[in-house]
A and B are shown apart, each in its own frame.
Chain A
Amino acid sequence: MSEGNTAAQSYAPGTHPDLPAPIRTTGPVAWVRMNLFSSPLNVALTLVAIGLLWWVMPPLFEWIVLDSVWTAESRKECWDKMEVPEGGACWAFIKDRLRLFVYGFYPQASRWRVNLSFVLLAMAVVPVLYDKMPGRKFGLWYAVAFPFIAGWLLVGGLGLTPVDTDQFGGILLTLIIGVTGISFSLPIGILLALGRRSKMPVMRILCVMFIEFIRGVPLIALLFIASSMLNFFLPPGTVFDLLIRVLIMVTLFAAAYIAEVVRGGLQGIPIGQFEAADSLGLTYVKAQMLIILPQALKISIPGIVNTFIGLYKDTTLVLIIGMLDPLGIGRASLADAVWAGLSREVYLFVALFFFVCCFSMSRYSLYLERKLHTGH
């Protein structure tokens, strides 16, 4: 066919075959135009973003990966292996201390108990997260029992060699504080939230005072009180395990925040639901358990998970009262003259650990939010 013919050919209305879209609206070029250079402002933003990446990423990548050293016996050996001392990360240090980072000072012979509790934790988390799991009901009961099982496994007694809680450290300590705080702060927080919305003025005032007090002061002040002043509040001679004191403080701290999140959820329940429950003749407890709380908790799940993430991140603060969480372990290891001076590696490692944990939690919360959102 010649070109002349194509131009001359005519079609009846509606019979023209579909032509490919103009090149400027499809394909990578169009995508770039649409998404990166659609307006002068966007051009500027794109250029700034590229510049930023170009400036930050290559040196960072070089330091973390290309110029890093993975096997060495000391900082000196590490730096000797590099072209420029301190030009790369000395991951040999983290490798050397990995067990310390994970188990803290838990006795070597009993570390299987820690491993077992990690596995049990994973098993407890699954039924909580996946609602389609078969036999989820038993799984949930197991999840409720898990803190006690793990507590027995880790602390010992009843047939196991007792291990003192001040030997806990590193990731183990973070998980203990995090999991305990998460599992106990939820019920307490719900009770506080109900108390705050109670019709009884005394209850309401007590709950408001408690919540606002806890929310108004920094956690490190509370932790310091737990570590140094709680003894003044107890009868003379009472000795209370430091870890338990810290756990109580962290739990109460998180509970106050959970209470506010749940209160938000409760406020989102239409008054008709309360009236309906009353008109069915349900008691207060039954109305809350069967009608109000299930709905309120459902709306507040994202907020609750966010509070948990905050709690988990706040566990680093225990190092201020001398307990060795991963950051504390890192700092203590830096006091070893053989390795001193590698603080950047420690900070990056600890940051990565927290990022992995908290990011997965926040992704899960997002997933839940979307799933619950499809309801209406």
Chain B
Amino acid sequence: MAVIAETGPDTRNLIARLWSNQQARSVIIQIVALTVVFAAFGFILRNVVINLENVGKEFNFSFFLYPAAYDITFSPFIEYSSRSTHLRAAVVGILNTMLVAACGIVLATIMGFIMGILRLSTNWLVNRLVYCFLEFTRNVPVLLHILFIHGLIVIQLPVPKMALNFADSFFLTNRGFYIPQPVWEPGAGIVAAAFVISVVFVVFFVRWAKKVQDETGRVYPVFLISTGAIVGATAVAFLAAGMPLSWSFPELKGFNFTGGLAIKPEFIALWLALSYYTSCFIAEIVRAGILAVSHGQTEAAYALGLRPNRTLQLIVIPQALRVIVPPLASQYLNLTKNSSLAIAIGYMDVVATVGGITLMQTGKEMETMMVVLLIYLTFSLVISGFMNWFNRKMMLVEREAKKKRAFFSFKTGTGEDS
């Protein structure tokens, strides 16, 4: 820059001079970009206003307070009837999406870890079998999996009259899995309180045990103690309160089972299909994560005298998790978004209620789709926020480890291998 300045006054026009200045250029580009984006939004907004006026539609959300007039049978959390409002229908849809996404994430993670580990098994047959399953599942659209599982459940399982009966309290039919439903009686509050208190205790205990382990290397049987504390405290409270619990058993009455808790086939199908489809991707991530932990780590652990399961728990898994967690987040997001295919088999999620029937009956495409998009964006923000937090937690461990290792190598003067 200084060299150019000495060649004499710059005779080029202002814009060219500004353009050759890096900072000025970046400001110009940004202003232009921002203007273009705002202009585009303004243009779209103007068009929307004109177009809505042309077809005589109003933009408002008041229809959410009108009766929905359609039925949603699967509403496990809140009461709903066809006289309820569109808003309530939307809430039912949101809760159903959350339910299937949460259950799916849990099952997909478990199945993914199991299959990822089986893929590393030395058992040739199991290894190949899991490989074939993974490849077939990954390479076929998830919509087909959902239709397939739904068809399997509906066709292969018996009708209610011939239900598979387990001890007269569990019934498996093609209309769902019926299980006894716990009915809480007065005094149940004590049990719940005992449960909460024991959980809080366990949280503190786990933290304390970890601290002790970090400082002294002493390991407590954390899992056993935690489980024991929770189960024990809850059981004692349960007995002390005089067993404030009865069960509502499913019973075949007329066309269907009544009483008990019904898990509908649409939910089961969507849940299973989304889970095993996503678990295939998770399995690959887990496999790559475990392979990424160098074998030297395992050998070092053995050399220190750690037993194999301790090695896995203390050495391999914490390091593998660092590789596994970031891509896991996007798989969880995918699963949540894929749950929108529920509409294909009639599971009433948020796309089927707000973005489906409500949209059809009210003709409010703009408003309903806006709500649907906002809901999914919220889901994705929550999931990626949680995974980022979890990831940071894992990363923190790494930084500490690095610090310690650097300190160690400084003191002893041994070289580092990586």
Contacts and interface: CB of A to CB of B under 8 A. Distances in A.
Contacts of A354: 139-141, 144
B82 interface: no
Contact of B377 (A53, A217, A219): A217
Interface in A17-73: 34-36, 38, 42, 45-46, 49-50, 52-53
B47 interface: yes
Interface stretch (B178-186, B215-223, B338-346): B338-346
A232 B143 contact: no
B369 A225 contact: yes
A235 to B, nearest CB: 6
Nearest to A310: B334
B47 A235 contact: yes
Interface string A348-376: 00110011011100100000000000000
B336 to A, nearest CB: 8
Contacts of A184: none
Interface residues of A, number: 55
Nearest to B130: A49
Contact of A358 (B26, B138, B151): B138
Given A203-B30, A236-B51, A221 B376 contact: yes
Contact of B50 (A46, A49, A53, A236): A236
Interface string B174-200: 000000000000000000000000000
Contact of A216 (B142, B366, B377): B377
B121 interface: yes
Contacts of A343: 151
Contacts of A206: 33-34, 37
Interface in B291-313: none
A309 B34 CA distance: 34
A186 interface: no
Interface residues of B, number: 53
B414 interface: no
A228 B54 CA distance: 16
Contact of A231 (B51, B148, B369): B51
Interface string A256-278: 00001000000000000000000
B15 interface: no
B135 A218 contact: no
Given A206-B37, A233-B44, A38 B351 contact: no
B140 A351 contact: yes
A35 B124 contact: yes
Interface of A: 34-36, 38, 42, 45-46, 49-50, 52-53, 199-203, 206, 212-213, 215-221, 224-225, 228-229, 231-236, 260, 309, 313-314, 316-317, 320, 327, 343-344, 347, 350-351, 354-355, 357-359, 362
Interface of B: 26, 29-31, 33-34, 37, 44, 47-48, 50-52, 54, 118, 121-126, 129, 135-136, 138-144, 147-148, 151, 330, 333, 337-338, 340-341, 343, 351, 355, 365-366, 369, 372-373, 376-377, 379-381
Q: Which 9 A-B pairs have the closest CB atoms?
A: A216-B380, A358-B139, A202-B30, A35-B124, A218-B340, A218-B337, A313-B141, A316-B141, A216-B377
10 contacts: A35-B123, A36-B123, A45-B123, A200-B29, A203-B29, A221-B355, A221-B369, A221-B373, A233-B44, A354-B144
